Structures are given as C-alpha cells and as structure tokens.
Amino acid sequence: MLTREILGRVREIQVRTGRQVADVLAGEYVSVFKGRGMEFDEVRPYVPGDDVRSIDWNVTARTGEAHVKRYVEERQLTLMLMADVSASQDFGSRGRSKREATAELCALLAFSATRNDDKVGLALFHGDIEEYIPPRKGQKHALRVVREVLAHEDARASETRESPGFVALLRAAWDCFATGRRPRQAREATDVGHALEFLMQVTKRRTICFVVSDFLDDDFEHAMVTANRKHDVIAVLVTDPNELEVPDAGLVALEDAETGETRVVDTSAPAFRREVEERAKARVADLKRRFGSLGIDFIHVDASGDVVEPLVKFFRMRERRGRR
C-alpha cells in the first residue's frame, strides 16, 4: 500500500520534472530518437510533381490510372527503463540517495516519452528481477513507473535499520577494499547481465533501453553488447560524491551495502583518502572507456546534482552524431 509520503514525493517529482520536460527536454527527445522508418499509409491517384519511383504499378495496371504509394514516418517508440534497486543504491550523502536520483531520471525520460505518445516500460533489478511493468502509453502509466521506483525504496527502508553515524555516510567506499566476501542475497547484489537477459526474453520489439545503475558488478559487457545489437542501449552510471571523495572524519566503520562486510579505517590519513579517490575516479573512467569501446552510449549522473544537464548533453551529442 502506498504511503502519503510516497504519493507526495511522486507529485513533487511530477511537478519539477514536468516543467523541465516542457522547458528543456521537449525538443531534445524527439529530435534524437526516431521511429523505425517509413510506414505504408495509403495509395492515392498520381498528381504532377509526385516522384515516379513511388508509383504503384499493380494498382495502376488494375485501374488504368496512375496511383502512387504514400508513406508516413513511424513515430511511436518503446522506451524501457532498467533501474538498479540493489542495496548500494540506497546510499546518499547529500540529501538525496542514488535511488531517488534514479527515480527523478526515470521520471524525466518517462514524461518525455509520454509527451511524444511513446510507450514506457520498467524493470527493477538487483541480483534478480524485482518487478516488471510492460510498456504502455499515458500519463498515469508514467506516474506508476516513478511510483514503483520510490515505493521499492520505502519498502527496503522498512525492512532494514539505518546504519549509525558515518557508517551510512561512507559505506560505499568499502567496495574498494572488501576481501573475502560472503555470498550475497539477491536483494543485496547487482546483476546487470541477468537484467538484460530478461529484457531480451520479454521484449520482441526494438526498444530504447536506459540501464540506470552504479554498475557495482562484473562480467556484464557481453550481455550489454548482445542487447545492444537488437535494442538501443544506453548506460547511465549514478554515483554519490562521497563515493568519489572521502571526507576527513577520523576513525570510521565502513560497511559494504552489498555484502554487509565491515572494516574500521582511518579517514584522516591522506594516503587512504587519496587511494579511495584514485580508485573511484579510475572506475568511472574505465566504465566510460569500456562502454565506448563496445559502442554503447554512456551518461554519468551525480546523485546530489542536477539530472537534467547530463541528459541534455547526451541528447545533443546524439543529435550531432546523427547529422554526420
């Protein structure tokens, strides 16, 4: 059952992103994502000026009068949002978690698609598929997509206790140093490859697929490439500032959100902070390089910042590339 708080957050996101879609993204989405081609519409009598290559010779022979085939652009698209809801997505150090940033990003994309009469679907994944909503059209359906991402966050919060103090603040940094990991439960893990295999099974029509995750996973490149052969796959990396730069907080107990492993570290040590920062930034650069080499577009979103600007930059990059 949806709480009043979730409904309020959905409404807030709808109002905020609705303005952004209308003012900023309205033309960007439709100019970048085209239909699959030209669709036959009708046969009509030939008029001077028509391209002779469009003449339908069968109808012309049958009627004794020249007719031409008329085509229109097939505009309707299917947008699939693959949202990572694993434990590491709950992390947020600047007032908004990675999952909340993911919900707002999904809202922007869903409302942009709805504005252009396209279908929108959603798959929530972690180590398994948590929920699947088949693609449909309409404003109410787009709101449901946003609601489900937020509702899943609320459900997780009721199942787990908040970590005290800096444990919650810095838990993601532990990923750089974890050793001897215990087997992860499905809800704790991230399995991008499995999510894309699921997409290939349930979606026959070509889709525009945004995979929104922190990509704390291994060996997902093959699944990304396979899915990108049939669909237009875009990788969206969501990170928190404190995953890239650890503050000086003295002795801190770090907890890996996806394994539960803990370790006490001295964040006042410059060498420790420098190593975390170098590894984290190298991971982002490596993901960008790997996706680029695979022919998959890459967007990096800061969970604490504006999610519109990275989308606009991506749309404009795709538009420039399409003109070449």
Could you give the 3-state DSSP secondary structure of residue 35? coil
User: Is 80 exceeded by the pLDDT of residue 28?
Assistant: no
Average pLDDT, the chain: 80
pLDDT digits (tens, 9 = 90+) for 270-305: 888 888 889 989 999 999 999 999 999 999 999 999
End-to-end CA distance of the chain: 50
Q: Would the pLDDT of 238 be above 90?
A: yes
Q: What is the pLDDT of residue 66?
A: 92
Q: Looking at the predicted structure, is the pLDDT value of residue 95 above 90?
A: no
The pLDDT of residue 251:
84
Percentage above 90 pLDDT, the chain = 32
CA distance 298 to 73: 28
Confidence of residue 247 (pLDDT cuts 50, 70, 90): confident
Percent of the chain with pLDDT over 70: 75
Most confident of 151-160, 175-184, 262-271, 302-311: 302-311
Residue 264 reports pLDDT greater than 90 = no
Q: Which token pair is 140?
A: 């109410």
Q: Are strands 67-74 and 37-45 parallel, antiparallel or unpaired?
A: antiparallel
**Residue 251 half-sphere exposure, CB side, CA atoms within 13 Å?**
1
- CATH class, domain 4-33+76-323, is alpha beta
What is the structure's pLDDT at 96?
Answer: 85
* Residue of 159 and 101 predicted with greater confidence: 101
pLDDT beyond 70 at 71:
no
Show me where the domains of the chain are located: 4-33+76-323, 37-74
Flag whether pLDDT at 155 surpasses 80: no
Please indicate whether residue 72 or residue 247 has the higher confidence score (pLDDT). Answer: 247
Contacts of 204 (CB under 8 A, 6+ apart): none
Task: Report the pLDDT averaged over residues 315-322.
Answer: 82
d(CA 309, CA 324): 23
pTM: 0.76
pLDDT of residue 323: 58
Distances (CA, A) of 130 to 67, 84, 125, 152, 226: 53, 10, 5, 9, 22
